[in-house]
Amino acid sequence: MVDYDVIIAGAGTGGATTAYTLAKRGHSVLLIDRKERHMIGLKTCGDAIGSHHFRELQELVGFPDMPSNIIEHDVAGIDIISPDREHRLRMTGPTTSGFSFNRLKMGQWFVRLAEEAGAEVRASTRVKRLTFENSKVTGLKISTKDSDQDKELKAKIVVDATGAVGMLRRQLPETSPVEREIAKEDVMVAWRDVYETPEYTFDTPEFLEIYWDQEQTPGGYIWVFPQGSNRVNVGLGLMTLPGHRRPQEIYDSFVRTTYDFMKTKLVTLDSSGGIAPVRRPIDTLVDDNFMLVGDSGAQVNPIHGGGIGSSFLGGAHAGIVASEALEANDTSIESLWSYNPRYMESYGIKQASLDVFRWFLLNVTNDEINFAFKKQIVKAEDLLDTSMTGRVKFGTGEKLRRLRSGIGNVPLLLRVSKIAGLMEDVKEVYRNYPDSPKGLADWKRRLVPIYDAAKGL
Ligand SMILES: Cc1cc2nc3c(=O)[nH]c(=O)nc-3n(C[C@H](O)[C@H](O)[C@H](O)COP(=O)(O)OP(=O)(O)OC[C@H]3O[C@@H](n4cnc5c(N)ncnc54)[C@H](O)[C@@H]3O)c2cc1C
């Protein structure tokens, strides 16, 4: 006897999308969050998203249009600025247009939609432990402020949507095919503030700025995302490599002293740190009676750390597959498996190749980046194409021309060419994602040499 068809731990965008999808299909769903109800949605974020993510969600599960009061400002494109600040690449087009938004209002809207679709929402409730029978998930234990006693709830499926901590994923038994831990080198640490700038006007708030600087933020970047003429979200993220500096320290010593708006009067609206997984998705997002959605499944773009749109995809695909499994009265790993290829095809394949690219980027120096910007070896459309498709591409004539213009740095181009090949290799492996759990171990073995080669470039 179960209490719910599905219990979802974590009511962020991933969990709420899963709850919405399942409740709309008539299943009994409990959506739990440790935050107070009116605080769900508030988190450390750059608060920016491409509009295309909402179109995808609409197509997949019929999500309604976003209310306009959630939007802070429309975004027309992104400027990438070289470490020496002398060059700027402007990326514009349908995939970079979107908006900066109010994070809390967005989160509240998602939870409200899940609830209106029929999900039960329990806020101020902490998920503590998974429960098992014969090593298979049967439900979980929760605690609330008004009771000393933990309560056990049973469900046919439990979804871990607890965000970057992946707190339920980490409790799976050793025998589970799901990776329980994420390597430190696959985690981005970040700090960001949101300010009103009454004495400083952002002239082009429709363009977000990304500052590339391998010395300050190895493997990451500093962002300045205006949210209107007199409001800005500014932060930085870097990879958690051995000996890395604390993001807040870099923020204080570098960000605060570098940007003109920082030298004017600032009204701090929020100031906080956060983490995000920046790797390929967890290799299997399902086990018996168990699914991963959003950051807990590492469904994040490894290059820019954006994960809201991919958590929509994860939540929608997980919800659709869970619904089919419930209807078939079979929630085994085999029955839930199709969530894996569905997610991998829609976004995981791109994540995997960008994860390969991430290792290349980490080993590029500021001088090399400055050189590539100056000689126009890198163009805005290349960066855009790579970030959208996970592919590094040069046309033949163009490649030669750029090779000639970059003649002073042929090794860099050779490395670019090698990494482009490895990115294609990893995509090929993903195109052959196994159609059942039996093929997983062999499939994972094919990934190892590709990542090893990328790390060595
Ligand atoms: C600094 C920073 C900036 C970012 N900027 C952007 C950006 O501009 N655009 C973008 O697209 N993405 C951005 N991201 C990534 C994005 O925030 C995440 O990918 C996205 O929020 C993932 O959604 P989620 O639902 O998986 O997790 P979350 O939104 O983290 O939701 C998880 C929920 O689980 C709840 N929870 C956790 N543990 C428990 C527990 N034990 N019991 C009950 N509830 C629990 C939490 O309270 C939370 O509400 C950024 C991330 C960081 C760290």
Query: Residue 66: inside a domain, yes or no?
Result: no
Of all residues in the chain, the percent with pLDDT exceeding 90 is 82
124 in the same domain as 20: yes
Query: Residue 286: inside a domain, yes or no?
Result: yes
Check pLDDT > 60 for residue 258.
yes
For residue 56, which amino acid is it?
E
Lowest mean pLDDT among 177-191, 314-328, 352-366: 352-366
Our count of domains for the chain comes to: 3
Q: State pLDDT tens for residues 1-60.
A: 899 999 999 999 999 999 999 999 999 999 999 999 999 999 999 999 999 999 999 999
| Residue 275 CA to ligand 1 centre (angstroms) | 9
Check pLDDT > 80 for residue 204.
yes
310 in the same domain as 213: no
Bigger pLDDT: 410 vs 151: 151
115 in the same domain as 32: yes
323 in the same domain as 255: no
Check pLDDT > 80 for residue 285.
yes
CB 160 within 8 A of CB 169: yes
Check pLDDT > 60 for residue 394.
no
Residue 415 class from Cβ within 10 Å (0-12 exposed, 13-18 middle, 19+ buried)? middle
pLDDT of residue 388: 64
pLDDT mean over 201-219: 95
* CA distance readout (Å), 414 to 322, 406, 431: 45, 11, 26
Query: Residue 330: inside a domain, yes or no?
Result: yes
Check pLDDT > 80 for residue 243.
yes
Q: Which of 151, 238, 240, 308 best tests ligand 1's pocket when mutated (most atoms within 8 Å of CB)?
A: 308
| Residue 44 CA to ligand 1 centre (angstroms) | 8
* CA distance readout (Å), 229 to 67, 233, 286, 303, 428: 21, 12, 45, 27, 45
Q: Identify the residue whose C-alpha is closest to ligand 1 atom 39.
A: 162
441 in the same domain as 293: no
Query: Residue 115: inside a domain, yes or no?
Result: yes
Measured from the CA of 273, which atom of ligand 1 is nearest?
1
Query: Residue 86: inside a domain, yes or no?
Result: no
What do you get for the CA distance between the two ends of the chain, in Å? Answer: 54
pLDDT of residue 282: 98
pLDDT of residue 92: 86
For residue 327, which amino acid is it?
E
385 in the same domain as 245: no
Measured from the CA of 233, which atom of ligand 1 is nearest?
8
Contacts of 278 (CB under 8 A, 6+ apart): 186, 187, 188, 239, 300, 301, 302, 303, 305, 355, 358
Query: Residue 318: inside a domain, yes or no?
Result: yes
Beta strands (DSSP E) in 221-362 are 221-226, 231-239, 267-277, 286-287, 290-292
Give the domain-ending residue among 310, 337, 364. Answer: 337
pLDDT mean over 208-216: 95
Q: Which of 33, 72, 310 best tests ligand 1's pocket when mutated (most atoms within 8 Å of CB)?
A: 33
- CATH number of domain containing 109: 3.50.50.60
Residue 431 class from Cβ within 10 Å (0-12 exposed, 13-18 middle, 19+ buried)? exposed
> What is the C-alpha separation between 213 and 81, in angstroms, rounded?
9
Q: State pLDDT tens for residues 406-419.
A: 555 567 778 888 99
pLDDT of residue 372: 82
Q: Which domain holds residue 419?
A: 352-456
Per-residue pLDDT band at 403 (split at 50, 70, 90): low
169 in the same domain as 318: yes
Ligand 1 — pocket residues by CB below 6 A? 9-15, 32-35, 40, 43-49, 126-127, 161-163, 165, 167, 190, 192, 235, 237, 274-276, 294-295, 300, 305-309, 311
254 in the same domain as 114: no
10 in the same domain as 27: yes
Q: State pLDDT tens for residues 76-106.
A: 999 999 999 999 989 887 777 899 999 999 9
pLDDT mean over 416-435: 94
Give the domain-ending residue among 277, 301, 320. Answer: 277
357 in the same domain as 328: no
Structure tokens given for 40: 């769900």
Per-residue pLDDT band at 374 (split at 50, 70, 90): confident
Measured from the CA of 293, which atom of ligand 1 is nearest?
26
Query: Residue 232: inside a domain, yes or no?
Result: yes
Check pLDDT > 90 for residue 381.
no
Around Cβ 165, how many Cβ atoms within 10 Å? 14
| Residue 81 CA to ligand 1 centre (angstroms) | 27
Give the domain-ending residue among 277, 292, 319. Answer: 277
Cα angle: 285, vertex 456, 423; to 5 degrees:
50
pLDDT of residue 412: 73
160 in the same domain as 264: no
| Residue 165 CA to ligand 1 centre (angstroms) | 9
Check pLDDT > 80 for residue 395.
no
Measured from the CA of 16, which atom of ligand 1 is nearest?
25
Q: Identify the residue whose C-alpha is closest to ligand 1 atom 37.
A: 162
Check pLDDT > 90 for residue 389.
no
Q: State pLDDT tens for residues 63-79.
A: 999 999 999 999 999 99
Compute the mean pLDDT over every residue in the chain, rounded to the nearest whole number. 93
| Residue 6 CA to ligand 1 centre (angstroms) | 20
357 in the same domain as 310: no
Q: Identify the residue whose C-alpha is closest to ligand 1 atom 16.
A: 307
Pairing of strands 29-32, 48-50: unpaired
Around Cβ 324, how many Cβ atoms within 10 Å? 15
Query: Residue 409: inside a domain, yes or no?
Result: yes
- CATH number of domain containing 207: 3.30.9.10
